[in-house]
Amino acid sequence: MNESQLLSVIDGALRRAGSVADLTDDCAYVESGAQLITTDTLIEGVHFDSQLDTAEQIGAQAAVQNLSDLAASGGRPLFLVWSLCLPPSWADEAERLSALAFGFARVATEHGACVVGGNLSRIDGPLVIAVTAAGACFGPSPLTRSGARPGQAVYVSGRLGDAAAGVFDPSAATRLARHGWRPHIAEAQALALWGGVGACMDISDGLLLDATRLARTSGVTLALSRSAIPIGEAAAALGKPALDLAMTGGEDYVLLFTAEGSPPIPAYRIGEVREADVRGPLLLDLVPTLGRGFDHFGTASNAS
Ligand SMILES: [Mg+2]
């Protein structure tokens, strides 16, 4: 397809998903009050598998990954733009491209956001989806990673490990469970308006690694309990690897937060915040632990 044909395929899919924006001009004009901006890229073979995942699932994943970062900051999604680098297997298949755009815009509209623009390039390589998402704070200020204080409890807003289970054992059932992810926007709204949150982030690279990052940013130590970590159903069905998938797998897109008092959302209490411990930022059953997880640039999967 040529560029205008590609654009009309994408425009049609966005409209079907309820995301109505004028894509004709060089810039999108938005009077939005946006305060939060984030960007994240998905690459074929790194974040998704075109053989195992449908086009609509891949588009949805691109939106979830970015909206989850807005949720982590206590943000209400407003708009997204994306840049697509399309290999011939996508640029020449209207139906596939349409499903990708539909999945992307469906997740956006489900959370009140609109796809307002994008860019198209041809690539002699993997499909690349670069997304920028903008939002506004639900509360008076954003949630941050730096507010954890000793005495607070540590929570996660959902079960862990299912996304990684779908990579570890890509049978049809676990691969489908992998795509059960969603951005925890509603939870973020309740937490931001509640006011009892210390620190907050989303779990994208694995609980242990992300918990280590939060602890370091706050200058505290998080003491987590293995038996309290909530394991997803698909991960649990795999038996022995389940706990490791839940602790280090990543892409769960649930919120990891610290709080005083009882949070206003269903959440699992997995540990407590302590004064910075000389033994390190993360204790697992009181034993210092490496923040293992997914690091794009790590040779070993250790926290940096
Ligand atoms: Mg994040």
Q: Check if the beta carbon of residue 90 is closer than 8 Å to that of residue 10.
A: no
Residue-wise pLDDT tens digits, 65-119: 999 999 999 999 999 999 999 999 999 999 999 999 999 999 999 999 999 999 9
Q: What is the pLDDT of residues 175-221, one digit of tens each?
A: 999 999 999 999 999 999 999 999 999 999 999 999 999 999 999 99
Could you give the CA distance from residue 255 to residue 134 in angstroms, rounded to a whole number?
Answer: 18
CA of 24 to the centre of ligand 1 (A): 32
| Residue 295 maps to a domain | no
Residue 182 lies inside a defined structural domain of this protein: yes
Q: How far is the centre of ligand 1, averaged over its atoms, from the C-alpha of 44 (Å)?
A: 20
Handedness of CA 166, 176, 62, 70 (dihedral sign): negative
Based on the fold, state whether residues 10 and 42 are members of the same structural domain: yes
CATH code assigned at 270: 3.90.650.10
**Final residue in a domain of this structure, among 137, 161, 179:** 137
Domain membership of residue 129 as a residue range = 3-137
Residues 116 and 227 in one domain: no
Does a structural domain hold residue 143? no
The CA 134 to ligand 1 mean position distance, Å, reads 14
Ligand 1 center–CA 62 separation, angstroms: 13
| This prediction's pTM | 0.94
CA–centroid distance, 8 to ligand 1, in Å, is: 32
Answer yes or no: do 104 and 166 share one domain.
no
Q: HEC profile for 227-280? A: HHCCECHHHHCCCCCHHHHHHHCCCCCCEEEEECCCCCCCCEEEEEEEECECCE
The domain spanning residue 111 has which CATH number?
Answer: 3.30.1330.10
Is residue 72 in some structural domain?
yes
The last residue of one of the domains, among 105, 137, 169, is 137
| Cα(112) to centroid(ligand 1), Å | 20
Shortest CA distance to 274 belongs to which of 288, 263, 262? 288
Whether 300 maps to a domain, the answer reads no
Domain-located, residue 147: no
Query: How many distinct structural domains can be found in the chain?
Result: 2
